Amino acid sequence: MKVIGITGGVGAGKSRLLEYINDKYNCDIIMADKTAHMLEEPGQKCYDELVGLLGVDILEPDGHIDRAKMAAKIFSDAVLLGKVNNIVHPAVKEYILQQIDVRREEKENKTDFLFIEAALLIESGYADIVDELWYIYTDAEVRRKRLKSSRAYSDEKIDSIIQKQLSEEEFRRHCDFVIDNSGDFETVCERIDRKLEEYLWQKQ
């Protein structure tokens, strides 16, 4: 089983490419954001620490964390955001490491690939735990159009997010394979197919 990290800036189209891969290949996919949401549920690893840090006013009536309230509270306070990240990011990484170990130890595991998707793979040190890092590159204007269309983001919000992410140069410097997802989707998929089929051929 080959473990591949998938990263890239907001609006790069990582999720769509992973949907294609998931439909075509014998693989598992772990999304860091979804893992974080799971770990923030009542009874899970991050829940008590987050409520203790942010207060019960971030909770919905049923006790679950209201993500909109939590976001409003932390993104205007850099110190508080850092504390939340220090709770959530290590817990997500620990969970993913456990999932990798479980799959590698399973004698009956026939999975060819395990993909791990996260915007902060490089910053969080995932290069040390994956076999290969892929950077999904997309032209800035294409990303901007996608975010406006699919998420109704304003230019100000897009600028704010992009400024907090790594530069294209940093992504390229740390990653083993770069996929340009700016143009025709079928062409991008063909390149991914060539790469993954090469791995499968080497495995035989």
| Digit-coded pLDDT (tens) for 31-76 | 999 999 999 999 999 999 999 999 999 999 999 999 999 988 887 7
| Digit-coded pLDDT (tens) for 157-204 | 888 888 888 888 999 999 999 999 998 999 999 999 999 999 998 876
> Which residues does 67 contact at the CB level (< 8 Å), separation at least 6?
37
* pLDDT tier, 137 (very low <50, low <70, confident <90, very high otherwise): very high
Residue 112: per-residue pLDDT = 93
Q: How far apart are CA 122 and CA 189, in angstroms?
A: 24
CATH code for residues 35-109: 3.40.50.300
* pLDDT tier, 114 (very low <50, low <70, confident <90, very high otherwise): very high
> Any alpha helices (H) in the chain, and if so which ranges?
14-24, 32-39, 47-54, 67-74, 78-105, 140-151, 155-164, 168-174, 185-203
Residue 156: per-residue pLDDT = 87
Residue 158: per-residue pLDDT = 85
Q: Fold identical between 1-26+113-204 and 35-109?
A: yes
User: Per-residue pLDDT for 1 more than 80?
Assistant: yes
Q: What is the domain class of 1-26+113-204 according to CATH?
A: alpha beta
User: Per-residue pLDDT for 84 more than 90?
Assistant: yes
Residue 25: per-residue pLDDT = 95
What's this model's pTM, rounded to 2 decimal places? 0.89
Amino acid identity of residue 30, one-letter, is I
User: Per-residue pLDDT for 80 more than 90?
Assistant: yes
What residues does each domain of the chain span?
A: 1-26+113-204, 35-109
Q: How far apart are CA 104 and CA 2, in angstroms?
A: 10
Residue 204: per-residue pLDDT = 66
